[in-house]
Amino acid sequence: MPALVLSILLALAAPHDLQLAPAKNDDGHHLVLRFTGSADATRYAVYRSVSAPGTAPPVLDLPPWQRVKTLDAEAGPMTTVDEVPDSNTEYSYAVRAELVPPGAAVATEIGPPALVGPARPRAAWFDGSRTFMLTIVLGTLILLAVYYQRAKRSPKAIYVRRIPGIDAMEEAIGRSTEMGRPVLYVPGIEEIQDIQTVAGLVILGHVAEAAARYETEIRVTCMIPLVMVVAEEVVRQAFANAGRPDAHRPENVQFVSSEQFAFTAGVNGIIMREKPATAIYMGRFYGESLVLAEAGFLNHSIQIAGTAELTQLPFFIAACDYTIIGEELFAVSAYLSRDPRQLSALKASDMVKLAVLALIVVGTILNAFGAWDIGSWVTP
């Protein structure tokens, strides 16, 4: 019997060149284990222990050892990342090769274990893989400060090109006033933390203020209750800004449903029954975009849509009178307010865009000649 056990244990060689290191850019809960496999193994069993490995061969299937992973054998060096429960504890690892014949569930041959460790995971205070993104944010921040100072000195120096969709908003609200029909506003169907929803709510402030000035009813329909709460506050403030707080009707900001197509059916019902002369869709939309826009088209509403959701842009372009595309959605508020502080942010983002464009051109040329791989620098 001992001879049989010995033959089983010695049939497969132990993995070698084991290395254990904390994961890079980590939150302090991951260790990286690298090793080179043994010939004939079909898989490797990885065991973890909180104690130092010691010199005697461990009994791997008993505590403190715990089987944490089973890896299919691959040619060449193998790497695995293990999530450990405690960031302040040292861990040791053992790896052993196993041979599982095709169709079998259990290993028929098991190799001796190879040990490595102990090592402790390390929490990083900066995620190096996000350096490029940080550069973009800091670049925008610095340019924003520069253009803010410039805008304070000479507010008229910042030129913003015409955006027809935004220019049409006031005209569309005026049309609603003339026809005595409401303005419908949909701030997308995403959660409040989505930047497009934030942009949609900021634009809602301007639209509601214009509607208040024109003494026109504005209906806001929301799919997310938290968005409804914020939208209600935005509209209330807009009516106060316009000097008509008494004209604000809280029930005009409406939570319809948190289900996508129930919401769509509800908004379509409002479009078909209340016949708004103007429908404005600003924010993130998905499959309901065309259903809403086509209902508005059938109702002969002036429709203005704005989204940075690429898949829905063609639908809005096909069905709406004006479409605010991608980045323009984030420029609407600054464009409408003409506030130099906000226009400076537009200018800053334009400059960053120019820098990224230059980087793409230079990077493409250098990459074509094999001098520099821009991709590995942007997303290492």
Partner 1 sequence: MKKQLPLLIGFLAGSFAIAEFYIPAGIVRDIQSKLLEFASVLAAAAFVLGGINVIQVNLPIILHRRPDWQYKVVLMLGAAAMLLAGIEWHSLAAAPAPTQVTERPTGTTALAISASRDDAELSVDNKPFVPLGSGWREPVAPGAHNVAVRIPQPGYSAIAMPITVRAGMELTLRVPVRMLWGPSGRVYTWMYDHVFGPCNATMFALLSFFIASAAFRAFRARNLDAALLLGAAIIIMLGRVPIGRAIAGWLPALSDWIIDIPNNAGRRAIMMGAAIGAVATSLRVILGLERSHLGRD
Chain positions 293 to 322 lying near partner 1, rule: CB under 8 A, are: 293-294, 297, 308, 310, 313, 315, 317-319
Which parts of 127-186 interact with partner 1 (CB under 8 A)? Answer: 127, 130, 133-134, 136-137, 140-141, 144, 148
Tokens of 297: 């088209």
**Whole-number minimum distance, CB 116 to partner 1, in Å?**
24
To the nearest 10°, report the CA torsion of 331, 336, 338, 342.
Answer: -40
Contact between 8 and partner 1 by CB under 8 A: the answer reads: no
Between residues 16 and 249, which has the closer beta carbon with respect to partner 1? 249
Interface size with partner 1, residues (CB under 8 A)? 89
User: In this chain, which of 191, 365, 373, 379 binds partner 1, going by CB under 8 A?
Assistant: 191
Between residues 41 and 222, which has the closer beta carbon with respect to partner 1? 222
Tokens of 333: 């508020």
User: In this chain, which of 199, 211, 304, 305 binds partner 1, going by CB under 8 A?
Assistant: 199
Tokens of 197: 């929803």
User: In this chain, which of 60, 265, 374, 378 binds partner 1, going by CB under 8 A?
Assistant: 265
Residue type, 32: V
Contact between 189 and partner 1 by CB under 8 A: the answer reads: no
Say how far apart CA 77 and CA 228 lie, in whole Å. Answer: 54
Binding to partner 1 by CB under 8 A, coded x per residue (else -) over 70-109, reads -----------------x----------------------
Long-range interactions of 244-248: CB distance < 8 A, separation 24+ = 244/212, 244/213, 244/215, 247/212, 247/215, 248/212
Stretch that binds partner 1, among 65-73, 126-134, 171-179, 371-379 (CB under 8 A): 126-134
Between residues 99 and 332, which has the closer beta carbon with respect to partner 1? 332
User: In this chain, which of 255, 281, 322, 335 binds partner 1, going by CB under 8 A?
Assistant: 255
Other CB atoms closer than 10 Å to residue 304's CB: what's the count? Answer: 28
**Whole-number minimum distance, CB 206 to partner 1, in Å?**
7
Which parts of 318-377 interact with partner 1 (CB under 8 A)? Answer: 318-319, 325-331, 333-334, 337, 339, 341-342, 344-346, 348-349, 352-353, 356
Contact between 240 and partner 1 by CB under 8 A: the answer reads: yes
**What DSSP string runs through 169-212?**
HHHHHHHHHHHT-PEEEE--SS-TTSHHHHHHHHHHHHHHHHHH
- Assign 1 to helix, strand or coil: coil
Q: Name, in order, each residue with C-beta under 8 angstroms of 314's C-beta and a sequence gap of 6 or more.
A: none
Between residues 73 and 227, which has the closer beta carbon with respect to partner 1? 227
**Whole-number minimum distance, CB 273 to partner 1, in Å?**
6
Contact between 28 and partner 1 by CB under 8 A: the answer reads: yes
The answer to whether the CB of 113 falls within 8 A of the CB of 47 is: yes
Between residues 109 and 321, which has the closer beta carbon with respect to partner 1? 321
Residue keyed to tokens 């029909």: 181
**What DSSP string runs through 305-324?**
EEE--GGGHHHHHHH-SEEE
The answer to whether the CB of 304 falls within 8 A of the CB of 281 is: yes
Between residues 14 and 280, which has the closer beta carbon with respect to partner 1? 280
